[in-house]
């Protein structure tokens, strides 16, 4: 397998380097970049994010990366959204109701229902919906991953949900739409299961023709 080139979109929000370094650790040539040409030529693209939905989208658009992100997701190449990067792929969010998401996963990011402590800031066990999902392969029998969030994605098509967790109620934690995969948790902070997920992404990118 070739060492795939993976573009990690650099729009100045949060600790983007942690995702890049974790992907490098798992065998990728991972570049933190805002270069549309590099993004267009990459084997795979990652959109990380921390903070608020609207602020992250404003930052992405402010550095001219909305179109490259859309074109990458629509190109058929592997595309991974992480945490608020995942939320940005949805149509809209209750956190910032006037902000338009990228609409790559049709649906709404909604507040976690009242009951448990908000935000969820803990390790939690993934319940994998589709055992055949390649991004969730080899994570182990009870994969615990690390969450920090107050909202979760609710796609219009429930078949796009790839994994859930229990937190007072069932919370959606991972999503698949064609070549786009997205997770609410932080794989780069999730020890062996999270690094395995990133390894799976690297493998998918490296095995493209």
pLDDT tens per residue, range 18-58: 899 999 999 999 999 999 999 999 999 999 988 899 999 99
**pLDDT value, residue 209:** 67
Is 205 a catalytic site residue? Answer: no
- C-alpha to C-alpha distances, 166 to 124, 128, 144, nearest whole angstrom: 8, 12, 12
Over 70: is that where the pLDDT of 173 sits? Answer: yes
- Paired residues of 107 in beta bridges: 155
User: Please, which pLDDT band fits residue 95 given cuts at 50, 70 and 90?
Assistant: very high
From the list 26, 56, 188, 205, the catalytic residue is: 188
What is the arithmetic mean of pLDDT over 6-17? 88
- Tokens, residue 174: 């991972």
Residue range 157-169, pLDDT digits in tens: 999 999 999 999 9
Residues 6+ apart with CB under 8 A from 37: none
Which single residue is written with the structure tokens 């149509």? 91
From the list 26, 56, 149, 186, the catalytic residue is: 186
From the list 56, 83, 152, 205, the catalytic residue is: 83
5 vs 28: CA distance, rounded Å: 6
Is 95 a catalytic site residue? Answer: no
Is 188 a catalytic site residue? Answer: yes
For the chain, give the percent of residues with pLDDT over 90. 88
Helix axes 16-25, 191-206, angle to 10 degrees: 70
163 vs 179: CA distance, rounded Å: 16
């Amino acid at each position: 397998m070739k060492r795939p080139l993976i573009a990690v979109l650099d729009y100045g929000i949060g600790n983007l380097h942690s995702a890049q370094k974790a992907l490098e650790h798992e065998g990728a040539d991972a570049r933190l970049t805002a270069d549309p040409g590099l993004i267009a030529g990459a084997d795979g693209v990652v959109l990380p994010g921390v903070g608020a939905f609207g602020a992250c989208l404003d930052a992405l658009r402010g550095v001219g990366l909305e179109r490259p992100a859309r074109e990458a997701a629509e190109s058929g190449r592997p595309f991974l959204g992480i945490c608020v990067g995942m939320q940005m792929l949805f149509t809209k969010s209750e956190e910032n109701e006037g902000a338009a998401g990228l609409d790559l996963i049709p649906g709404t990011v909604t507040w976690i229902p009242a009951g448990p402590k908000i935000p969820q800031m803990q390790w939690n066990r993934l319940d994998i919906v589709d055992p055949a999902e390649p991004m969730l392969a080899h994570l182990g029998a009870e994969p615990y991953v690390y969450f920090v969030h107050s909202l979760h994605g609710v796609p219009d098509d429930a078949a796009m949900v790839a994994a859930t967790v229990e937190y007072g109620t069932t919370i959606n934690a991972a999503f698949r739409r064609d070549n786009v995969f997205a997770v609410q948790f932080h794989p780069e902070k999730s020890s062996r299961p999270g690094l395995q997920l990133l390894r799976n992404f690297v493998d998918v990118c490296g095995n493209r023709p």
